[in-house]
């Protein structure tokens, strides 16, 4: 399973755009890149997933360069409620499920 590396922590002011980059140099051809968000006392929650180029949903955007060795999660105009740990995972679907390894995650602190 591909290993991921991301910053341990980040601080941002409310209203700013936040970009969290994840390195996954050993990503395999059939691996997807998935980001999860975890609030204290809750399980991780799916945010966004992509394979290449750019993916956007109502919560975030995911940018993946052509070599796929890294990815960037972009959160537009963060608020205090976006304070959480963000995990970048890579893994492939196998038999209908994705077996993945969680990295250290990035603890985002949004400041008023």
Q: What residues line the site for other proteins (CB under 8 A)?
A: 32, 34, 36, 41-46, 49, 87, 93, 95-105
> At closest approach, how far in Å is the CB of 42 from other proteins?
6
- C-beta closer to other proteins: residue 13 or 39: 39
> At closest approach, how far in Å is the CB of 61 from other proteins?
17
- The whole-angstrom separation of Cα 19 and Cα 57 is 15
- C-beta closer to other proteins: residue 96 or 112: 96
Q: What angle do CA 92, 94, 99 make, to 5 degrees?
A: 60
């Amino acid at each position: 399973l591909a290993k991921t590396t991301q910053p341990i922590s980040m601080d941002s002011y409310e209203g700013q755009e936040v970009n969290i980059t994840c390195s996954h140099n050993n990503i395999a051809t059939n691996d997807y890149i998935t980001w999860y968000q975890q609030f204290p006392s809750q399980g991780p929650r799916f945010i966004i997933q992509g394979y290449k180029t750019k993916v956007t949903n109502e919560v975030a955007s995911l940018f993946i360069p052509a070599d796929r060795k890294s990815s960037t999660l972009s959160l537009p105009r963060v608020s205090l409620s976006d304070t959480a740990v963000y995990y970048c995972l890579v893994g492939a679907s196998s038999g209908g499920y994705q077996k993945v390894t969680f990295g250290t995650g990035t603890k985002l602190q949004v400041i008023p």
